[in-house]
Amino acid sequence: MVVSTPATVRSDFAVDARTQAMFDRNGCVKLPGVIDPDVVDDWAPLISDAVVELNTEHLPLEERDTYGKAFLQVSNIWQRNDQVAEFAYSADLARIATELLGVRGVRMYHDQALYKEPGGGITPWHADQYYWPFATDRCITVWVPLQDTPAELGPLTFAQGSHGFEFGRDLAISDESEEQLQQALGAQSFAVDDSPYRLGDVSYHLGWTFHRAGANASAEPRRVMTMIYVDADMIITEPTNANQVRDLATWMPGMRPGDVVSSPLNPVLYQR
């Protein structure tokens, strides 16, 4: 059987003034119907095959820590699977990121499949930029569910407006981040968006926006593909923790603080 690659992910979604205002205010936005559901359906098995092939986590769920129970995490699939690279390189998803960030263009930082297994645990509250040595907040993740994602599968959940909140920016994903941030974010009365996603919906969030996800209480895996983009002109800063040292070496090999993010792993995916 000849398996053909589905069409490159296209979208004519235009970021209008209302969407932009919502994103600027909340540091995140869930966007309905960005991708044709049939196209997502076509891609889902290819991405799942890559996750099965490349996954290195083989411990039973009950033997993993909280981070390990949250999801199977397979990163930079684009480097190892030419088909999935076409998905990860979607110019339209990168265009939307560029428009939301208000920059001239974006580069690939890395991609990541996040598969929450049946019975998989919560994703603790955290902000991604704790892991990233960047000079500004112009970095963004697109979260693309590969099936309808109602509450029982663990949809991504945002504390709206928390991208300006500084407490907890030094916390790695852990039981501690969940506990401390649940309390701190609750005390600030941030609105929490834990709404479901329909197939074809996606969300975008800034690196400093606090987010979490519930456990997967269903019998199906919660399959999600993400791409993380940075401003095409992003400057690398001195790492402030061991995770940032590792991220610098892994996602920007050969680069140093003061450089523009521009290793061979960081192609420009869209520019205006």
Ligand X SMILES: O=C(O)CCC(=O)C(=O)O
Site string for ligand X, 6-45 (x = CB under 6 A): ----------------------------------------
| Short-list 96, 97, 77, CA closest to 87 | 77
Nearer to ligand X, 215 or 235 (CB): 215
Shortest Å, Cβ 163 to ligand X = 13
225 binds ligand X (CB under 6 A): no
Pick 141 or 266: Cβ nearer ligand X: 141
Residue owning tokens 């092939």? 53
Find the binding residues for ligand X in span 104-143 (CB under 6 A): 114, 116, 123, 128, 141, 143
Among 156, 255, 261, 269, binds ligand X (CB under 6 A): 156
CB 114 → ligand X: shortest distance, Å? Answer: 4
Q: Does 226 bind ligand X (CB under 6 A)?
A: yes
Q: What are phi and psi of 232, to 5 degrees?
A: -60, -20
Rounded Cα gap, residues 98 and 42, in angstroms: 26
Would you say 90 or 226 has its CB closer to ligand X? 226
- For the CB of residue 213, give the shortest distance to ligand X in the complex, in Å: 4
Helices (H), ranges, the chain = 17-26, 37-54, 66-70, 82-88, 91-101, 175-187, 242-251
Distance, in Å, from the CA atom of 268 to the CA atom of 270, rounded to the nearest integer, reads: 6
If one asks whether residue 224 binds ligand X (CB under 6 A), the answer comes out as: yes
One-letter identity of residue 212: R
Closest CA to 204 of 69, 114, 97: 97
CA–CA distances in Å: residue 11 to residues 52, 89, 164, 185, 232: 28, 13, 30, 34, 21
213 is an interface residue for ligand X by CB under 6 A? yes
Could you say whether residue 157 binds ligand X (CB under 6 A)?
A: no
Interaction pattern, residues 161-200, with ligand X; x per rule: CB under 6 A: ----------------------------------------
Q: What is the end-to-end Cα distance of the chain in Å, rounded?
A: 40
Cα Rg of the chain (Å, integer): 17
Please report whether residue 223 would count as binding ligand X according to CB under 6 A: no
* 71 contributes a contact to ligand X by CB under 6 A: yes
The residues, ordered by sequence, that sit 6+ positions from 54 with a Cβ below 8 Å of its Cβ are 74, 77, 80, 81
Based on CB atoms, which residue is closest to ligand X, 73 or 271?
Answer: 73
Q: Is 208 in the site for ligand X (CB under 6 A)?
A: no
Chain residues in the site for ligand X (CB under 6 A): 70-71, 114, 116, 123, 128, 141, 143, 156, 211, 213, 224, 226
